[in-house]
Amino acid sequence: MAKEGLKKRLKIIIEKLRDNYPEVKSHLEHKKPFELLVSTVLAAQCTDDRVNMTMVPLYKFKYRNPKAILEDGIDNFRNEIKSINFFNNKAKSILALCEILEKEHGGKVPGDMESLTKLPGVGRKSASVVLGHCFGKEDVIIVDTHLKRVCARLGLIENENPDKIEIELKEIVPTKFQFNFSMRIGEHGRLICHAKKPKCGDCFLSGLCPSYNKV
């Protein structure tokens, strides 16, 4: 009975999110799957704005595909991304990732979870971002810090582990809504449900939120 009540509340949450955030897109600028994949890896513990500032010109004029990064080499690539947090380790992951794309996938980004998560530096979150944005997959949950925070405050999840959160949400969010739900929850976290000072007074979900004015 409790789960049925949760699903009814979730249905209203999904509708309100859709009404308030009808158009949602990645904050990482990209024109093809390869660009989004690399930027997603680079965005770990770094801002999207910093990654965009660094990578958008490089994608346009220098790094159009995995082969271009491999030919430029680790030292040059590392130097190009040195403004990004943890650029050293990320450069190693990106070069290894590009090598696998060239050798095993003909230089193309694969469109399935199993293949993507075998790539260096790519976890389920990054894979879900690429699958949802570039391959039209609806059945993906993007477990980032915004989703974790907002869903916990809304009482939709009980776990803190990303893999368990994904399982929890897949059980209650209808398949066709999962990707857009993730994106809209993320947007809500960026704009309203902030980590330190959430704007509860401005929140259109306040009437559905157990944490309203308690954080």
- Among the listed residues 72, 92, 144, 170, the single catalytic one is 144
Q: Cβ(120)–Cβ(98) under 8 Å?
A: no
Angle (CA) 68-74-75 rounded to 5° is: 115
Assess whether 8 carries a catalytic annotation. no
Nearest one of 168, 196, 163 to 181, comparing CA atoms = 168
Assess whether 125 carries a catalytic annotation. yes
Retrieve residue 23's tokens.
């158009």
Q: Cβ(104)–Cβ(19) under 8 Å?
A: no
In whole angstroms, how far apart are CA 132 and each of 166, 176, 178? 15, 11, 9
Please tell me the distance from the alpha carbon of residue 115 to that of residue 51, in angstroms, as a whole number. Answer: 24
Please tell me the distance from the alpha carbon of residue 155 to that of residue 131, in angstroms, as a whole number. Answer: 27
- Among the listed residues 92, 125, 170, 214, the single catalytic one is 125
Which residues form the catalytic set? Answer: 125, 144
